C-alpha cells in the first residue's frame, strides 16, 4: 500500500530546499511526485516554489522542472504535452504547480483556455491565499476578512470560487485537497493520473508567515480548515459532485466546528470583530446549503 | 549552375509563408488571429485539418499563450511556429523575452503593423523593431518570394547548434501579406534535405534539469554574455545557410544585406522591408537622370550586420536612411543604428521618417529626398507627412 508511512522511503522532493520553516509545499510536492512517478514534468510559474526549486546551481526536484512566466503555466504545459504526444511519449504527466495568484489572477486566462481545450494536463493550485512570495499581498483567492499588506483593514471581497469555476468548463476532473488529509490528497492525485484530459486539483496550503501563525501549527490549521467547513474536501468527476474524507460527515451543521477555532490561531484574522466572525460563519453555513443542493442532483 | 525548372505559384504573402511553414514540417503550432496575419493561420489550419501538414495545432486564447505554448513545445523537442502582428506582438512580449533569454529555437512570422493608439491596421515597423533587444534573430523580407525563402531559412538558422536562438521573420502587413505575387517554390523533398529533423530536447527523465531557474548575479550576466556570443556567431551561420539555399534554389539570396547599385554610388538609400522595391525603382530613375544613386537593403536586422554596412557605406557622399519606426525622443531606429555603425567616418547620414501607420510612400518620394540632399536642402531628420 502507500509507502508514505514507510520511514525509509526516499523522498521524491529533497530536503535542503529553500522553503520557509513550516511550509507545506515540499511535503505536498513529495506526495505528488510519489504518486505521479518519475515520468512527470513540473511547470512552475513565478511563486514561492520558484525559490524553493533553487537556482542555477541545482534543484531539489527528481523530475524535470520548467519554470514559467507568471501568466503562462497552463499554456506552456499545453505546448509540452502536445510536443511529447508528437514524439510518441504518451505516458508523461505534465503537471502545473502554481500558486493562487498565478491561478486565480494573472494566469487565469491561460488556465481557462487550457481547460476549455481540455488539454491533457494536471493543474495543481497550491493555495496559500495571497501573494506570499512577494510578501503577503491580497489575491483574488484571499478570503474575506483576511489581513494582508494591501488589505490592512481586512479584505472586503469574497474568495474567488475557483474549483467551481473550473468545473463549469466541463473538464473531466476537479477536486479540492488539504495537506492535513494526506491519503485523501494522494487518492485524488492517483485518480487524476488515470484520467485523460484536463484535471484540476486545488490544495489549501497554510503559510506560517503569511497567515501569521507559529510554524508548528501548519497541519493543525490545515485540519481545522476542513473540520470547520471552511475548506470542503470534494471531487467533481465528469460533472458529478461528491464529498470526500471527513467532509462527508459535515453536511450536518452540528458536526462542523465553529469557524472561530480556525480563525483564532491566525494573526491575519485577529482584527475581526465578533460581528464579522458571525458573518463569516453564516457564509460558511450558506456554502454548505449550496453543497447539499449539489449532492441532491 | 544547373538548376531544375522551378514550380511557380501565385500566392499572397500570408499564403506563401503558410506554404513554407507546411514544407518545413513543424510539429506544434499555435494560432491566434490578428489582422493582417489572420489569413496565414487560416491557411495553416486548413493544411492541418486536411493532414497535408501533420502537426498539433494549439488554438490558444491569446498571443501570450500562443508564444508560451510553443515555448513549452519547443523545449520539449518539437519544431514550432507561430505568427502575429502589432498589438499581438506586444501582448507576446513577455514570452518573446523568455524565448530569447532561454535561447529556445522558435520561428515566428510578424506581419508588421502600426501600434495603437490611435488604432491603425496599416503597415509600419514599430512593432517589429520594438523587439530589437529580446535576443531574437530578426530578418525582414522585401517581397513575397523573400518571405517564403526566409521562412524556410529561419528554421535552419534557429536550430543550428552554433546559434540556438528564436528567429522572427518580418514582412510588411498588407503590402506583402495581402499582395499576390508569382513565386518559385522548392520541392517538398528539397526542403526535407535542407531542414533535417530537430536535435533539441530539454526534457530528459534520466537526467532531469530545471529550465529557467533563478540565476545569481554572477550567473545571470554569463547567460547574457553567451547570448551575445551566439548572436555574433549567427552572422556567419546566416550567410552560410543563405548561400546553401542559394545553391539549392538557384535564386540569389544576398546574405545579411543587399547592395543594389551601391558599389559605384555616391548617394545611398538604406532601407528595410517592402519599400526597398520602390527604392530600387527610384535608384533606376535617378541613374537615368545622371545621379549616382544606390540602395543598401538591410535583410537581417539582428544580429546587425555592422561590418557589411561599414564596408559599403564608409566612403559615400551621403546616406539617407528610411525609417518606418521611430524611437521617440531619440530618432529613426534604423538611422540611429547606421549612425552608430559609421561612427568615426566622415559620412553624412540623413534620417527620413516615412510610411508611419501606412502612409503611402512612392519612388518619387525617394527621388525628392535625394535631390534635396544634392541641392544641400535636406535637414538631418525629415518626416514625410
Average pLDDT over chain A reads 95
| pLDDT band at A258; cut points 50, 70, 90 | very high
pLDDT in tens, B220-251: 999 999 999 999 999 999 999 999 999 999 99
CB contact under 8 A, B80 and A87: no
pLDDT for the residue A282 = 97
Tell me whether strands B137-140 and B107-112 are parallel, antiparallel or unpaired.
Answer: unpaired
Closest CA to B359 of B385, B320, B322: B385
User: What pTM did the predictor assign?
Assistant: 0.96
Q: Which residues pair with B269 in a beta bridge?
A: B295, B320
Radius of gyration of chain A (CA): 18
For residue A179 the three cell numbers come to 495537506
For residue A277 the three cell numbers come to 466572525
- The whole-number average pLDDT for the span A226-236 is 98
Radius of gyration of chain B (CA): 21
Query: Is-contact B318 B338, C-beta < 8 A?
Result: no
> Which chain A residues are Cβ-neighbours of B77 within 8 angstroms?
83-84, 87
For residue A250 the three cell numbers come to 459535515
pLDDT in tens, B147-200: 999 999 999 999 999 999 999 999 999 999 999 999 999 999 999 999 999 988
CB contact under 8 A, A55 and B215: yes
Residue A70: count other Cβ atoms within 10 Å of its Cβ.
17
pLDDT for the residue A1 = 46
Mean pLDDT lowest among A55-59, B204-208, B220-224: A55-59
Tell me whether strands A40-45 and A65-68 are parallel, antiparallel or unpaired.
Answer: parallel
Assess whether pLDDT exceeds 60 at residue A249: yes
pLDDT for the residue A9 = 77
Query: Is-contact A45 A70, C-beta < 8 A?
Result: yes
Beta-strand runs (E) in chain B? 7-12, 28-31, 56-59, 80-84, 107-112, 137-140, 167-172, 180-185, 210-211, 257-260, 267-271, 293-298, 300-302, 318-323, 326-327, 331-332, 349-353, 381-383
| pLDDT band at A57; cut points 50, 70, 90 | confident
Tell me what percent of the residues of chain B surpass a pLDDT of 90.
98
Angstrom distances, CA of residue A188 to CA of A6, A167, A192, A221, B1: 20, 15, 6, 21, 66
Minimal C-alpha gap between A89 and chain B (Å): 11
pLDDT for the residue A6 = 55
For residue B311 the three cell numbers come to 564596408
- The whole-number average pLDDT for the span A158-184 is 97
Query: Is-contact A104 A139, C-beta < 8 A?
Result: yes
pLDDT for the residue A7 = 57
ipTM for this model: 0.95
A–B: how many Cβ contacts below 8 A? 154
The CA-based angle B364-B367-B371, given to 5 degrees, is: 140
The CA-based angle B380-B382-B385, given to 5 degrees, is: 175
Long-range contacts of B345-350 (CB under 8 A, 24+ apart): B345/B310, B345/B313, B345/B314, B345/B315, B347/B313, B347/B314, B347/B315, B347/B316, B347/B318, B347/B319, B348/B317, B348/B318, B348/B319, B349/B319, B349/B321, B350/B318, B350/B319, B350/B320, B350/B321, B350/B378, B350/B379, B350/B380, B350/B381, B350/B382
For residue A101 the three cell numbers come to 495568484
Query: Is-contact A159 A144, C-beta < 8 A?
Result: yes
Q: Which helix (H) or strand (E) holds A201?
A: strand A199-204
pLDDT in tens, B276-325: 999 999 999 999 999 999 999 999 999 999 999 999 999 999 999 999 99
Compare A297 and B27 and report the one with higher pLDDT.
B27
pLDDT for the residue A90 = 84
Which residue in B75, B77, B95 is closest to A66 by CB distance? Answer: B75
The CA-based angle B256-B135-B233, given to 5 degrees, is: 50
Query: Does the CB of B210 have a partner CB in chain A at under 8 Å?
Result: yes
| pLDDT band at A16; cut points 50, 70, 90 | confident
Assess whether pLDDT exceeds 80 at residue B1: no
Which residue in B72, B77, B213 is closest to A56 by CB distance? Answer: B213
pLDDT for the residue A3 = 52
Assess whether pLDDT exceeds 90 at residue A156: yes
Amino acid at each position: 500500500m502507500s509507502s508514505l508511512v514507510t520511514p525509509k522511503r526516499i523522498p521524491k522532493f529533497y530536503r535542503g530546499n529553500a522553503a520557509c520553516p513550516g511550509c507545506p509545499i515540499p511535503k505536498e510536492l513529495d506526495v505528488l511526485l510519489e504518486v505521479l512517478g518519475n515520468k512527470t514534468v513540473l511547470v512552475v510559474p513565478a511563486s514561492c516554489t520558484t525559490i524553493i526549486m533553487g537556482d542555477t546551481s541545482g534543484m531539489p526536484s527528481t523530475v524535470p522542472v520548467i519554470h514559467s512566466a507568471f501568466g503562462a503555466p497552463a499554456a506552456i504545459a499545453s505546448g509540452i504535452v502536445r510536443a511529447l504526444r508528437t514524439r510518441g511519449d504518451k505516458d508523461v504527466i505534465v503537471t502545473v504547480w502554481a500558486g493562487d495568484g498565478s491561478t486565480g489572477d494573472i494566469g487565469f486566462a491561460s488556465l481557462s483556455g487550457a481547460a476549455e481545450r481540455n488539454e491533457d494536463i494536471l493543474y495543481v493550485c497550491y493555495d496559500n491565499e495571497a501573494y506570499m512570495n512577494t510578501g503577503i499581498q491580497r489575491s483574488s483567492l484571499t478570503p474575506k476578512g483576511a489581513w494582508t499588506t494591501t488589505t490592512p483593514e481586512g479584505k472586503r471581497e469574497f474568495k474567488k470560487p475557483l474549483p467551481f469555476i473550473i468545473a463549469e468548463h466541463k473538464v473531466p476532473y476537479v477536486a479540492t485537497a488539504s495537506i492535513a488529509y494526506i491519503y485523501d490528497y494522494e487518492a485524488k492525485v492517483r485518480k487524476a493520473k488515470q484520467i485523460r484530459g484536463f484535471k484540476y486539483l486545488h490544495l489549501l496550503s497554510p503559510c506560517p508567515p503569511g497567515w501569521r501563525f507559529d510554524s508548528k501549527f501548519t497541519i493543525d490549521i490545515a485540519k481545522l480548515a476542513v473540520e470547520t467547513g471552511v475548506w470542503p474536501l470534494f471531487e467533481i468527476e465528469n460533472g458529478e459532485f461528491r464529498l470526500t474524507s471527513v467532509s462527508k460527515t459535515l453536511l450536518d451543521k452540528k458536526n462542523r466546528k465553529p469557524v472561530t477555532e480556525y480563525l483564532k490561531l491566525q494573526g491575519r484574522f485577529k482584527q475581526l470583530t465578533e460581528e464579522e466572525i458571525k458573518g463569516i460563519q453564516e457564509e460558511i453555513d450558506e456554502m454548505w446549503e449550496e453543497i447539499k443542493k449539489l449532492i441532491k442532483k | 549552375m544547373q538548376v531544375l525548372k522551378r514550380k511557380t505559384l501565385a500566392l499572397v504573402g500570408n499564403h506563401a509563408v503558410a506554404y513554407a511553414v507546411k514544407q518545413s514540417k513543424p510539429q506544434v503550432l499555435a494560432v491566434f488571429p490578428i489582422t493582417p496575419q489572420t489569413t496565414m493561420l487560416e491557411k495553416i489550419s486548413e493544411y492541418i485539418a486536411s493532414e497535408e501538414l501533420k502537426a498539433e495545432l494549439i488554438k490558444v486564447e491569446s498571443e501570450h499563450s500562443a508564444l508560451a505554448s510553443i515555448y513549452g513545445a519547443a523545449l520539449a523537442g518539437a519544431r514550432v511556429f507561430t505568427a502575429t502582428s502589432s498589438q499581438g506582438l506586444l501582448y507576446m512580449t513577455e514570452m518573446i523575452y523568455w524565448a530569447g533569454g532561454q535561447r529556445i529555437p522558435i520561428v515566428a512570422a510578424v506581419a508588421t503593423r502600426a501600434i495603437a493608439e490611435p488604432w491603425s491596421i496599416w503597415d509600419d515597423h514599430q512593432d517589429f523593431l520594438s523587439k530589437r533587444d529580446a535576443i531574437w534573430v530578426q530578418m525582414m523580407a522585401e517581397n513575397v518570394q523573400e518571405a517564403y525563402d526566409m521562412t524556410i531559412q529561419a528554421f535552419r538558422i534557429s536550430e543550428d547548434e552554433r546559434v540556438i536562438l528564436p528567429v522572427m521573420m518580418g514582412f510588411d502587413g498588407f503590402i506583402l501579406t495581402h499582395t499576390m505575387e508569382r513565386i518559385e517554390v522548392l520541392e517538398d523533398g528539397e526542403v526535407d534535405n535542407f531542414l533535417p529533423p530537430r536535435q533539441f530536447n530539454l526534457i530528459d527523465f534520466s537526467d532531469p534539469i530545471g529550465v529557467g531557474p533563478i540565476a545569481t548575479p554572477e550567473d545571470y550576466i554569463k547567460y547574457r554574455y553567451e547570448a551575445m556570443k551566439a548572436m555574433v556567431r549567427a552572422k556567419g551561420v546566416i550567410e552560410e545557410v543563405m548561400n546553401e539555399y542559394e545553391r539549392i534554389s538557384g535564386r540569389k539570396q544576398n546574405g545579411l544585406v543587399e547592395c543594389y547599385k551601391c558599389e559605384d554610388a555616391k548617394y545611398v538609400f538604406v532601407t528595410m522591408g517592402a519599400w526597398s522595391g520602390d527604392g530600387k525603382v527610384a535608384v533606376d530613375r535617378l541613374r537615368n537622370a545622371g545621379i549616382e544613386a544606390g540602395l543598401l537593403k538591410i535583410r537581417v536586422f539582428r544580429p546587425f550586420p555592422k561590418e557589411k554596412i561599414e564596408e559599403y557605406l564608409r566612403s559615400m557622399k551621403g546616406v539617407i536612411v528610411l525609417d518606418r519606426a521611430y524611437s521617440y525622443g531619440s530618432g529613426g531606429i534604423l538611422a540611429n543604428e547606421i549612425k552608430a555603425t559609421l561612427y568615426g567616418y566622415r559620412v553624412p547620414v540623413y534620417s527620413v521618417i516615412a510610411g508611419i501607420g501606412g502612409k503611402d510612400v512612392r519612388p518619387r518620394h525617394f527621388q525628392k529626398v535625394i535631390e534635396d540632399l544634392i541641392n544641400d536642402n535636406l535637414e538631418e531628420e525629415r518626416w514625410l507627412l
